Amino acid sequence: MAKNESLLSPAAIAHYDRIIATVPGVKRKGAKAAYTSRNGHMFSFLMPEGPLALRLPDDARAAFEKKHKTGPCIQYGCVMRGYVVVPDTLFRRTAAVAKLFRLSYDHIGSLPPKPTTKSKKTTKPKTKKKASTKEKVASKKKVAATKKATAKKRATISKKTTRRNKKTTQRRDR
């Protein structure tokens, strides 16, 4: 199997795309696993086994589970909180699932957006123009002057230290 090849059946993906098309502006994402998201929150996905999973508000989720006698959505051995598994018989009825899909979309829209983990685009650093010969000479003179001033400071400090040391030595000797 190729690296980006989906585990989902083409018929299931086509039907999922028809459901997604009922809400303008929503696009299917994912190369291997088809899903939809809004403001950084995933709200529907197709499970590898085929059924659709929707994230519903708590009251609608409880009513859905009771009406359709479904359990919680389990992926990779973990219960996905807030999600319900749409039975295959209901999944084939586009109009019925479209209402639930819209409810899921609206519920996710009421949540605050998730912070992004992508780094912000940085602007390209400005390319430095090549310095002219005059600028290079001026820069070298500036560096030399700084080195000279630093050397003078060091010499002055060392003279003061020597004088202090002499005075303390003379005091000790008395």
Q: What is the average per-residue pLDDT within 50-68?
A: 91
The count of other CB atoms within 10 Å of the CB of residue 19 is 25
For residue 5, the model assigns a pLDDT of 60
Count of the separate structural domains present in the chain: 2
Looking at the structure, do residues 77 and 144 belong to the same domain, yes or no? no
**Cα separation of 42 and 108, whole Å?**
8
**Cα separation of 41 and 104, whole Å?**
11
DSSP state of 33: S
Q: Which domain holds residue 75?
A: 10-109
pLDDT tens-place string over residues 39-58: 989 999 998 777 899 999 99
Looking at the structure, do residues 15 and 100 belong to the same domain, yes or no? yes
Residues contacting residue 109 through CB under 8 Å, at least 6 positions apart = 38, 39
162 within domain boundaries:
yes
pLDDT tens-place string over residues 107-146: 999 888 888 776 666 666 666 667 678 787 788 888 888 8
Q: What is the pTM of this model?
A: 0.61
Looking at the structure, do residues 96 and 164 belong to the same domain, yes or no? no
